[in-house]
Chain A
Amino acid sequence: MTIDLTDTTTGAISNALTEARRRLGGMTMGMVLTLIIVTDEEGQYDAIRAANEAAREHPCRILAMITRRPKADSRLDAEIRVGEASPGETIVLRMYGPLGQHADSVAAPLLVPDVPVVTWWPDRAPEVPAAHPLGVLAQRRVTDSAAADMPQAVLADLARAYRPGDTDFGWTRATAWRSLLAATLDQPHPKLEAGEVQAEQENPTADLIASWLNLKLDIPMRRTVSGGPGITRVSFDTSDGDITISRLDGRTATLSWPGRPDRMVALHRRETAELLAEELRRLDPDEVYAETLRRLDTRGIETAPVVDPEADERVIS
C-alpha cells in the first residue's frame, strides 16, 4: 500500500508506518538495515528499483532523500510504500527549501533501531562522504565514481576523503574480475613481469584493478584504452608468453595461457541491484579497497609510451 503525507513530520511518518504495518496483518519484518539513498527526482526511480531488488536479499527500510526547490518554504512530503515491491519498507522523502540542508534531521528519527545504516549516493558523490550529514549517520557509505563526468578526479577526491566504511561501486564492479584473476593465479604460473588492464577511457574499475594488481603483485601495470564495453582485457607478461583474460562482449571471458588451450568463463557486467546487494553483504570497513585506493592516489596513473598506436597507455609502477 502507498500512503502519501504532505507537509508532514517524522513523527507522523512513524505513526503512519506503524498503522500500515498493523493493517497489513501486524507483521514485523526482520529488517537487517536502513538504506539511505541520497538522490534527486531524476535518479530516484532507478535507484529505488535497484534498492528494492537488493532488499530481497537484505530486507531493509529504504529512505530515499530528495531535495527540491531550495528557495521554497521548508516543507517535508513523504510517500510510504509498504508490502509492495520489496519485503521491507520504502519511504520517499521530499524536502523543500532550507530543510534540504538538514536532511539528517529527517532521516535520523526514521532509522530502524539497532541495525546498521548504509548511505548510498547513486549519482553524485559528496566531496567527503563521511562528513556529509547523511554520511555521518551511516557506518557504510557507498558512492559511484563512474556516475561522474570525471571519474578519475572523483576517485582521487574519494581517496583523500577516505574514512573506514567508505566504498565505491567502481570497486564493487571489480569483484568478478578480481575473483577470476585470483583463481587464475591459484594455478602454478611462470613469474609475472608486468601487467596490463585495458578498458574504456573513463573506467574507474579498470584503474582500481590495475592499482590492486600493482599493490598485490608488485609488478608494473599498464592501463590502456579500448572501445569497451567496460574492461576488455587484463594480461600478464611472463617469460613463457602472455597470460591473458579478454572479454570483448561484456559477457564471456576467454582465458589464454601459453601452451594451453583457451578456456571460456562467464564474466557478466552486473546490474546496479547486484552491486548494491554485494555492498550490503559486508558492512565492515573494506581495508583492501582502502589500500588500493591509496596506492592509486599516491602512485597515480602515468602516461607511458604508446606501444599499440591505437591505445593510449598510462603506467603505474
Chain B
Amino acid sequence: MTMPDAGTRGPAPANPGVIATADEPVNPLRDPRDRRIPRVAGPCVMVMFGVTGDLARKKLMPALYDLANRGLLPPGFSLVGFARRDWEDEDFAQITYEAVKEHARTPFRETVWQQLAEGMRFVPGEFDDDAAFDKLAETVQELDRDRGTGGNYAFYLSIPPRFFPMVVEQLKRSGLSDPSAVGAEWAGTARPPWRRVVIEKPFGHDLKSARKLNDIVDAVFPPESVFRIDHYLGKETVQNILALRFANEMYEPIWNRGYVDHVQITMSEDIGIGGRAGYYDGIGAARDVIQNHLLQLLALTAMEEPVSFAADSLRQEKEKVLSAVRLPVDLAAGTARGQYAAGWQGGRQVLGYLEEDGIPPDSRTETYAAVRLMLDTRRWAGVPFYLRTGKRLTRRMTEIALMFQRAPHLPFAATDTKELGQNALVIRVQPDEGVTVRFGSKVPGGAMEVRDVNMDFAYGQSFTESSPEAYERLILDVLIGDPPLFPRQEEVELSWRILDPIEQFWAENTKPEQYVSGSPGPASADAMMARDGRAWRRL
C-alpha cells in the first residue's frame, strides 16, 4: 500500500452528520446530492405579534414575500397578524402590500402576492383580552382546515419584552402553545405538529432579567422550540466566517496567538438614537450591541472547529469560548465609554445625546462602549480582543479585523519599510460585505520601498444579487426548524456574565465621556488602546 503524499490527498469526506438529519420519515424526492432543490418550509402558519412595528413592516413582511417569491414557502402558508388595531383582514393585507412593495428585495409579482395574500388574516385585540386570543386560536384552526397548514404554528413576538409574560400566558391559556391540544385529527400522522416561538433582542438587560425572561418563555415552550433572533447571524458574511475558517487550509494555521497580535471587532453607526429614546436610555451601547452582536462575532471568530455544523456542535464551541472570556483586571483601564455631543455628522448639524427628545439631561447612558477582553485558551492566550461600538460616529461600518504581528525580522533598511503597517485580515460585515487582506508590497520604482496594499474579496462583485436578506434566512430556518444560527439561553447568560461586571463598574464609578458627533469616539477609548501600544483601525 502506498501512502498518498500530503499534496495529493483528496478532499476530506463530507461530514455524514450534516447530511443525515433526525429520524424523520424520508422523502424519496429529497436527495442530498440534488442541490438544485432548495429547502422549503413545511405547511405552517406564522402568527405575528406587533405587526404594526417598524421591524415587521421594513424587514419581516418583505422577507416573507421574498421567500414566497423564491418559492421557499409551502403551498398554503398563512400569516396571521395580531395587534391593537381596528382592522379587517383586508386592511392588514393592504398594509402588508405597501410594506412589501416598498421594501422587498425581489421584483414584485402579482401572482406571488396573491398566493401570500390569500393566507393573510388579522385578529384585533389587546394582549390581556382573552376573547381576542380565543379568536386567534379559532383563526389558526380555520386555516388548518381551509389551507392545510397542518397545525404547525410559529409565533413571532415582535413586541417589547415587557409584554412577553402576558402573551406567552395567553398562548398557553388559549391552548395555542400546545401541539397536542389542537386538532386531534393530526394524532395519527407520522409527525406531530410543532410550535415555535421567535423572540428578538433584547434578551434581558442583565443576567437576572435574562433568566427571568427565559423562565417565562421556558414555562410554556421547550428550549428547542425557542428561536432567539440575532439578525447579525443571518448575514452572509457572518456565516462566511465559518466557511473562511473551516473550509480553507491557509487561514487556520495562522489563526492563533503565534501570528495574531490582536483582534478588533467594531460596529459603528452614523445615526443617533432616533426615536428609540424610551428603549435606549438606561440600556446603552454595551447592552444594545456588545452583549449580543459583538460577543457573537467574537465567539465565531475565536471558537475552535465544531465537529459538525449541527446546531448543538456549533453552540457548544461558542459556549466554550464565551466561558473562557476574561475581563480586564483594571476595568477603568480596560474599558471606555462615551456619549455623543452635538456636532456635525455626515454634513449635517446634529444634537447631542443629552439634548435628544425624551433623554433626561443628566442621563449616564453610554452611546459608545469599548472593552478589552482576553480569552483563556491555548489558542488565544495573550491576544487581546478589542470590542467597540457607538452611535453618531464617523461612518456606519461593522467589521472583524485580525491584526497580525509584525515580521520578526525585516531584511530591509528601516527607511524602506516606514510605511509598512501590520498585516491584517478584515472581515467586513457591513456595508460592502467581503474580506480584505492587507499586506506590504513593493512600490514600483528604482528604490525598495514597501507599503501596505489591500487585496479584496467583495460579495458585491462575486455573488451579491441573489444573497438573501438576513431575516429571510432566519425566518426560513425557523419554519424549517433548523437552529444553528440562533443563540440559545446558555449563550445569552454567558454574555451577560461578561457584561454585568462591566456595567456595574460603570454605574458605580464613571460618567460617559462626551465625544463630538461625527468623530471616531471618545479620547478615553484611544487612550485605552495607546496604553497597550496599539491604535484603533480608522473608521
Complex alpha-carbon distance, A29 and B462, angstroms: 9
User: In angstroms, how far is the closest chain B Cβ from the Cβ of A188?
Assistant: 4
Q: In the complex, what's the smallest C-beta–C-beta distance from A223 to chain B, in angstroms?
A: 18
Chain A contacts for B145, CB-based, 8 A = 261
B76, B118, B462: the one within 8 Å of A59 (CB): B462
Which listed residue (A87, A176, A251) contacts B111, Cβ 8 A? A251
Q: Which of B40, B68, B112, B146 makes the CB contact (< 8 A) with A186?
A: B40
Q: Are B31 and A288 in contact (CB under 8 A)?
A: yes
> Could you say which of B33, B76, B109, B150 contacts A287, with CB atoms under 8 Å apart?
B33
For the complex, what is the distance from the CA of A295 to the CA of B265, rounded to whole Å?
A: 54
Tell whether, in the assembled complex, residue A87 and residue B461 are in contact, meaning their CB atoms are under 8 Å apart.
Answer: yes
The docked-state distance in angstroms from the alpha carbon of A183 to that of B476 is 14
A177-219 CB contacts (< 8 Å) to partner B: 178-188, 213, 216-218
A266-283 CB contact bits vs B (8 Å, 1 = yes)? 111000000001100110
Closest residue of A by beta carbon distance from B466: A57
Cross-chain contact A183 with B109 (CB below 8 angstroms)? no
> Are A175 and B36 within 8 A (Cβ)?
yes
Interface on chain A toward B: helix, strand, loop, or mixed SS?
mixed
- Residues in B whose Cβ lies below 8 Å from that of A261: 145-148
Q: Is the CB of B34 within 8 A of A265?
A: no
The interface residues of chain A lying within 8 Å CB-to-CB of B464 are 57
Q: A252 at interface (Cβ–Cβ under 8 A)?
A: yes
- Tell me if B27 and A185 are in contact (CB < 8 A): yes
Do A263 and B27 touch (CB < 8 A)? no
Task: For the complex, count residues of B whose C-beta is within 8 A of A.
Answer: 44
Query: Is the CB of B343 closer than 8 A to any CB of chain A?
Result: no
Given contacts A29-B461, A180-B71, A261-B148, contact A282 B29 (CB under 8 A): no
Report if B25 contacts A (CB, 8 A). Answer: yes
Chain B nearest Cβ from A15, distance in angstroms: 20
A188: which B residues are within 8 A, CB to CB?
Answer: 25, 189-191
B21 contacts A by Cβ under 8 Å: no
User: Does any Cβ of A come within 8 Å of B75's Cβ?
Assistant: yes
Q: Are A183 and B25 in contact (CB under 8 A)?
A: no
Cβ A288 vs Cβ B34 within 8 A = yes
- Give every chain B residue within 8 A of A216 (Cβ-Cβ): 28-29, 31
CB interface residues, B 464-504, toward A, < 8 Å: 464-466
Whether the Cβ atoms of B109 and A268 lie closer than 8 Å is: yes
Judge whether A137 is part of the interface by a CB distance below 8 angstroms: no
- Return the chain A residue nearest B191 by Cβ: A188
B412 interfacial by beta-carbon distance below 8 Å: no
A118 within 8 Å of B (CB atoms): no
Q: Which residues of B contact A218 (CB under 8 A)?
A: 28
Please list the 9 inter-chain residue pairs (A to B) with the smallest Cβ-Cβ separation, ordered nearest first. A30-B461, A265-B75, A183-B40, A263-B75, A182-B29, A263-B76, A288-B34, A57-B465, A266-B112
> Would you list 30 pairs from A and B whose C-beta atoms are within 8 A, ordered by A residue?
A30-B462, A57-B464, A57-B466, A59-B461, A172-B36, A175-B36, A175-B37, A178-B34, A179-B37, A182-B30, A183-B74, A184-B75, A185-B27, A186-B74, A187-B43, A187-B148, A217-B28, A251-B111, A255-B76, A261-B146, A261-B148, A263-B76, A264-B75, A266-B71, A267-B71, A277-B466, A278-B36, A281-B466, A282-B36, A288-B33
